[in-house]
Copies of this chain bind each other. A is one copy, B any other.
Amino acid sequence: MKLGEGVEQAIHSVAVLAGLSEGGVLSAAAIAEFHGVSVSYLLKHLQALSGAGILDTVPGPKGGYRLARLPKDISLLDIVLAVEGSAPAFRCAEIRQRGPNPLPGKYFTKPCGISAAMLAAERVYRAELAKTAIADVLADLAESDDGSIAARGCAFLALNERRTNR
């Protein structure tokens, strides 16, 4: 029951990317510097997000990343699944079918009740994450912020945002 550290980096990266204007991109190096993390490592997760269709990439000089969808259409679940993989956390190995005197498989047509309960809890978890979009997170932040955090973000964007003709 542990989430990798890259999840936090990925979510924050998406949040920052949500702040740039139409047609603007941000290089991975800039995002990494803003968060004080390793560039190479952040790239790994940005690539995962790109592969999942959450981010678009612009290659070449003056290239970088930008959102592929609107912030309101990117949920936390999308990001978590892209980075951590979509495999369920609980995997039933059907150990009840092992042991010295295993029953024929026909008696185990119904999935294990334990597995069902665990997966049900996981569905609830994912549903909760799916309810929260990046746009919601930004809205909550703007509400509690007196302007300082937003100002720092804007200053960073003004310095590092790149316009692209595509």
CB distance from A157 to the nearest CB of B (A): 13
Number of residues of chain A lying within 8 A (CB) of chain B: 62
**Residues 137-165 of chain A: 1 if any B CB is under 8 Å from the residue's CB, otherwise 0?**
10011001110110010011000000000
A15 at interface by CB-CB < 8 Å: yes
**Number of this chain's copies in the complex:** 2
Complex interface: stretch among A17-25, A54-62, A100-108:
A100-108
- Using CB atoms and an 8 Å cutoff, list the residues of chain A in contact with chain B: 1-5, 7-9, 11-12, 15, 33-37, 76, 80, 84-85, 87, 89-93, 95-96, 98-101, 103, 107-108, 110, 113-118, 120-122, 124-125, 128-129, 132, 136-137, 140-141, 144-146, 148-149, 152, 155-156
